[in-house]
Amino acid sequence: MNPETKIKPKILLTNGSDIYSGGEYFVLEFGKKLKERGYDVTICCHPGILLYEKAKAFGINLFPIDFPVKGEIFKFTKIIYDYIKKNKIDIVHTNNNYDRTAAGFAAKFAGAGHITMNHSYHSISHNITHYIRNQYCTNYFLVDGFCTKELLIKDDKIDADKIKVIHLGIEPDSMKKDDALRKKVRDEFNIPADTILFGNTGRLVEFKGQEYLVKSFAQVAKQFDNVKLMIVGNGHLEQKLKDLTNDFGLNEKILFPGFRDDMQAVYSAFDVYLHSSVEGGGETFPFSVLYSLAQGIPAVVTDVGDVAKMIEQGETGFFVPDKNPEAMAEKIIYLLNNKNLIPEFGSNALKLLHKKFTLDIMFDNIIDVYNKIPLKKN
């Protein structure tokens, strides 16, 4: 059965975070696809943040709430409850810890369905309130990886039948390699056309493992002159990573452009993507690796969460143990010694994306879960 043959429910997508990262990108892209497919969708998030402004630009309905980090749960449950009742929302789809609780309870009290998505490899049950929400106020739990499903069953005691693994997907053309953008970014940073540019994007925080990436690239730079590494993002480890780069004498080889919102352009400048996340930080199925597939470039990634499932070993790239600079350097050096494999692996990567990880595939899988929830008058 076509997942969209049923009556289309009215959807409230919530996200209580005030940053713009993978979870927020998911809310935006999924919200855009819902609107494109004719669903009545509203995004509930902090006013004025990047997610809000991007959703506004695409004409998506907005319900701004200045979510706190914690506390006042009854106040915000009531605010969301009133919105659900007034606007006859059928399904509330939550995406972050605070809104998962407030909007989950609001959906239960208002008679709407509640689906929550856990974007990280972490427990979502830390107190009795979470336990009640998980057991009695949530119809289904969507997770990015099989590792997270196992964790929620074991640690959070959630019924396995209520947990659906849906790998993330992106619109391939939205991240398609663009030669003009490639030249623009390379010119901005004075990177010659024949330099092999390795790239990494993400927050500069511990679990992203960029410290190990710098150490790995230092080994590569000892053997090859015509290489550079660009680490894109911001975070509290930025100065520490710059200091480490300086200690290795790699200030001309490793670039830190800060936060960028032009990901298609940045990835177009890359030749190979490097992902260095470490276990324990919650990494599951990062969009940053999907972007590299869409660009048609190889990736060398660490085997954490479900990241290895995004790679066909020795066909689209390689996965290596985390916290192991030597293992990553070995695979990078292998690609540099066999440059003919870079376009071959890249072509395979793009085929893999189209086969398994497009936005349409992800969308249809989520809608299939939506359709399992009987619509009620609320």
pLDDT digits (tens, 9 = 90+) for 79-95: 999 999 999 999 999 99
Answer yes or no: are the C-beta atoms of 301 and 309 closer than 8 Å: no
Q: What percent of the chain has pLDDT over 90?
A: 93
Answer yes or no: are the C-beta atoms of 258 and 235 closer than 8 Å: no
Mark whether 201 and 312 lie in a shared domain. yes
Please report, for the domain that includes residue 39, its CATH number. Answer: 3.40.50.2000
Would you report the helix, strand and coil content of the chain in percent, each value rounded to 5? 45, 15, 35
Host H or E run for residue 45: strand 41-45
The domain containing residue 125 runs over which residues? 11-169+358-370
Ranges 22-26, 180-184, 190-194: which has the least confidence: 22-26
Answer yes or no: are the C-beta atoms of 232 and 199 closer than 8 Å: yes
Q: How do 163-165 and 196-201 pair as beta strands?
A: unpaired
The answer to whether residue 375 is domain-embedded is: no
**Is the Cα dihedral 220, 224, 225, 229 positive or negative?**
negative
3-class DSSP assignment, residue 164: strand
The answer to whether residue 4 is domain-embedded is: no
Mark whether 25 and 78 lie in a shared domain. yes
Hey, how many other C-beta atoms are within 10 angstroms of the C-beta on 202? 23
Mark whether 93 and 30 lie in a shared domain. yes
**CA–CA gap between residue 72 and residue 375 (Å, rounded):** 29
The answer to whether residue 333 is domain-embedded is: yes
Mark whether 123 and 212 lie in a shared domain. no
Hey, how many other C-beta atoms are within 10 angstroms of the C-beta on 239? 10
**Is the Cα dihedral 96, 101, 102, 106 positive or negative?**
positive
3-class DSSP assignment, residue 201: strand
- Whole-number pLDDT of residue 66: 95
3-class DSSP assignment, residue 110: helix
Question: Could you give the dihedral angle defined by the CA atoms of residues 231, 263, 279 and 344, in that order, rounded to the nearest 10 degrees?
Answer: -90
Residue 199, both tokens: 């790239």
Structure confidence by residue, pLDDT tens digits, 2-39: 555 568 999 999 999 998 888 999 999 999 999 999 99
The answer to whether residue 2 is domain-embedded is: no
378 pLDDT above the threshold of 60: no
pLDDT band at 1 (very low <50, low <70, confident <90, very high): very low
Answer yes or no: are the C-beta atoms of 82 and 370 closer than 8 Å: no
Mark whether 200 and 321 lie in a shared domain. yes
The answer to whether residue 291 is domain-embedded is: yes
Mark whether 111 and 251 lie in a shared domain. no
Model-level pTM? 0.90
- Whole-number pLDDT of residue 4: 52
**CA–CA gap between residue 316 and residue 335 (Å, rounded):** 11
Residue given tokens 């190990």 in the structure block = 212
The answer to whether residue 378 is domain-embedded is: no
Answer yes or no: are the C-beta atoms of 264 and 233 closer than 8 Å: no
**Is the Cα dihedral 125, 129, 135, 139 positive or negative?**
negative
Q: What is the domain count for the chain? A: 2
Mark whether 246 and 264 lie in a shared domain. yes
List the end-to-end C-alpha distance of the chain, in Å, as a whole number. 27
Structure confidence by residue, pLDDT tens digits, 111-167: 999 999 998 899 999 999 999 999 999 999 999 999 999 999 999 999 999 999 999
**Based on the number of CB atoms within 10 Å of its own CB, is 74 exposed (0-12), middle (13-18) or buried (19 or more)?**
exposed
Structure confidence by residue, pLDDT tens digits, 288-304: 999 999 999 999 999 99
Structure confidence by residue, pLDDT tens digits, 131-141: 999 999 999 99
Q: What percent of the chain has pLDDT over 70?
A: 98
**Mean pLDDT score across all residues of the chain:** 95
Which residue, 122, 81, 85, is CA-closest to 101?
81
Mark whether 352 and 362 lie in a shared domain. no
The answer to whether residue 376 is domain-embedded is: no
- Whole-number pLDDT of residue 377: 54
Residue 6, both tokens: 């049923």
- Whole-number pLDDT of residue 69: 85
What is the rounded average pLDDT of the residues 160-189?
Answer: 97
Mark whether 136 and 179 lie in a shared domain. no
Mark whether 123 and 189 lie in a shared domain. no
**CA–CA gap between residue 254 and residue 259 (Å, rounded):** 15
**CA–CA gap between residue 243 and residue 258 (Å, rounded):** 15
Mark whether 63 and 157 lie in a shared domain. yes
Structure confidence by residue, pLDDT tens digits, 29-79: 999 999 999 999 999 999 999 999 999 999 999 999 999 988 899 999 999
Hey, how many other C-beta atoms are within 10 angstroms of the C-beta on 219? 16
The answer to whether residue 1 is domain-embedded is: no
Hey, how many other C-beta atoms are within 10 angstroms of the C-beta on 193? 8
What is the rounded average pLDDT of the residues 315-327?
Answer: 98
Mark whether 362 and 345 lie in a shared domain. no
